[in-house]
Amino acid sequence: MSDDNLLPDRWGRSTGPGNAAFRALYERWFRVEWEGIEHVPRHGGALLVSNHAGLMPVDGGVIPLGIENETGRPVYSLAHHGFFRFPFVGKMLAATGGVVGHPDNAHRLLTEDKSLVLVFPEGAKGPVKPPRERYKLQRFGRGGFVETALRAGVPIVPIALMGTEDTTPTLATFRIAGQDVPLTLNTLLLGPLLGPLVQFPAKIRARVLPPVHLGEASGQDHYPRSLMMDTAEDIRGQLQTALNRMLHKRESVVAG
Amino acid sequence: MKNILVTGAGAPLGRAMLRHLRNLAGVEHIVGVEPTTSSDWVDGAELIASPRDQRAFVDLLAEYPIDTVIHCGLAPDRGGRVATPSEARVIDTMRLGAALASPDVSVRAWVIASSSGVYPVDSHAPLLQREDSALDTSEGTPAASIREAEEYARDVASRRPHLNVTLLRLQHVVGPGVRSPMTELLDQPVLPRVVGYDSPLQLLALDDAVRALSFAAELELAGVYNVASTGTVRMSEAIRTLGRTALPVLPFEAGGALGDLARRFGVPHVPGGMLPVLRFGHALDTSKLAAAGFSPEHDQAGCLALLS
């Protein structure tokens, strides 16, 4: 069996996230467990939103692999276009389901392909936040993801992910050349080369919340800004509440 | 569509256009113009040098009188990432536009072969460009020249409400006689495969381009339309389909003198301007023209067959 023989679809997706190494990491290292998977629509487009964490964020792989395992549906993840500039990185990202985070791409995936699309509304603010912000969701941009869902007429499915903050725990953040650079425990223990590549075996739990159906007609030119902001805030609140509950129930970082 | 003027008639696209029109029912006169040419009859059409000034253009258009102008003279044999259109060609477009605004002229349809090079080719671009997608905003580039010519055409359209102006943004044209950075890339005996990238490309068969221009003229479609043959193709697929060997190359392009050298010695290379296309892909959403009723006859494999 060779994944290289799979023809990529128009987005460049061929293997999906489930290569053998990542599958082992998912099953043995992070021992990912899902709750509420029945909330993931079995057909039709849906926008999945989740909290984003970790210096080398594993959530971007954990959620698509998990949903593909549990439902058989492929997940496309919106990623910053900058990643696609690097040789091999962009190609690999596309092969595993990454797509340039352009509203037009998201719309096409949701409406023409009727796919599941994953987005992290916190963007880069999630992974580089200071340690006191652990498991606190950062600002959800300007609510652009809500507009994407409204225009496409698809539900938003929030997914709370616990454990991803502990695979690369941030000890402190430094401001270097205008960028927030986190120092993680991994980097401190293993050095700047190996550190960012190694993840601690924290137990990852994912909880899918009930889909949010937006009661507006799709395909309009404009949607009220207030509606977008309110919905974004509401979803952020739901995710935060779910995370708090999951953390409250957690007995240990490694055993979950 | 009875009396038709075709510009850029000396280049492959214009020539193919003349041949296509000759076989069309209801067409009476076809005149081809080219910036530098001596008068001639080509494929049953009269070929003359572009008029030197606006007045002469008006006289030419009023003579038959011309009712349809198919402007292949802007980026005559390309589409896609173009070399800077020569000053003469941009000025010809403006002269033609000015002549079309004259009250003595009874042209009803002006169909312009523009280029998909107006769209940015970069990591932040969407997978498929739509007619209303953001354009390349760079200055002093080929994209900027095409953008200016398009703006000028839109200007003419707004001043002459009875004139139907259609802009067809042609994707990389391939076909007999067509030479462009894209054909230079794909025509090499050993193809370069840029390591670490494999993005979707898109070609347009010369006859599909000609049919689309003719379709737009006949239906007097107004506005902007993307044109490409069906589907997209990745470089890896193109290499397989063409059945040629590939040489992995680092992401560098050979433009200018370096490109000439590489061509002369047959060294597999990425022609100038084509590296971003190979890294980030370049593909159009053609659903708008499809909704108007046009369907291309070729797919990407068919386009590649025109090369080999």
Cα-based distances in Å from A23 to A57, A147, A255, B22:
16, 33, 19, 62
Whether the pTM exceeds 0.80: the reply is yes
**What does the pLDDT look like over B12-28, one tens digit per residue?**
899 899 999 998 989 99
The total number of structural domains that make up chain B: 1
Confidence (pLDDT) at A127: 79
ipTM for the assembly: 0.86
In chain B, residues with a C-beta closer than 8 Å to the C-beta of A13 are none
Residue B8, domain member (yes or no): yes
CB contact under 8 A, A105 and B127: yes
Per-residue confidence at B84, pLDDT binned at 50, 70, 90? low
Token duo for residue A201:
């075996």
- Whether B195 has its CB under 8 Å from any CB of chain A: the answer is yes
Domains and CATH numbers, chain A: 3-249 (3.40.1130)
> Residue range A37-57: average pLDDT?
90
pLDDT at A1 > cutoff 50: no
How far apart, in whole angstroms, are the C-alpha atoms of residue B56 and residue A171? 77
Which pLDDT value is given to residue A174?
85
The C-alpha atoms of residue B144 and residue B137 are separated, in whole angstroms, by 7
Q: Is residue B252 part of a domain?
A: no
Token reading at B307: 């090369």
Exposed, middle or buried, B140 (CB in 10 Å: 0-12/13-18/19+)?
exposed
Give the structural domain span for B20: 3-176+202-231+283-300
Instruction: Report the percent of chain A where pLDDT is more than 90.
Output: 55
Residue B97's nearest CA partner among B1, B167, B191, B194 is: B167
B105 belongs to a structural domain: yes
Site from B226, B279, B282 to mutate, A interface, most A CB atoms within 10 angstroms:
B279
Among positive and negative, which fits the CA dihedral B50, B54, B56, B58? positive
Task: Say if A105 is an interface residue toward chain B (CB within 8 Å).
Answer: yes
Residue B36 has pLDDT above 90, yes or no: no
Q: Is residue B265 part of a domain?
A: no
Contact yes or no for A87 and B127 at CB 8 A: no
Output the DSSP codes for B60-104. HHHHTT--EEEE--SSTT--SS-PPPPHHHHHHHHHHHHHHTSTT
> What pLDDT, in 10s, does the model give residues A221-252?
888 888 999 999 999 999 999 999 999 998 88
pLDDT at A40: 97
Strand B68-71 relative to strand B200-201: parallel, antiparallel, unpaired?
unpaired
What CATH number is associated with residue B214? Answer: 3.40.50.720
User: What SS3 state is found at B301?
Assistant: helix
Contact assignment for A12 to B128 by CB distance below 8 Å: no
Q: B207 pLDDT exceeds 90?
A: yes
Q: Is the CB of residue A12 less than 8 Å away from at least one CB of chain B?
A: yes
Between chain A and chain B, how many beta carbons pairs sit less than 8 Å apart? 52
Q: Please determine, for residue A215, whether its predicted confidence score (pLDDT) is greater than 90.
A: no
pLDDT exceeds cutoff 70 at B35: yes
The three-class DSSP label of residue A168 is coil
Nearest CA in chain A to B195: A87
* pLDDT score, position B38: 66
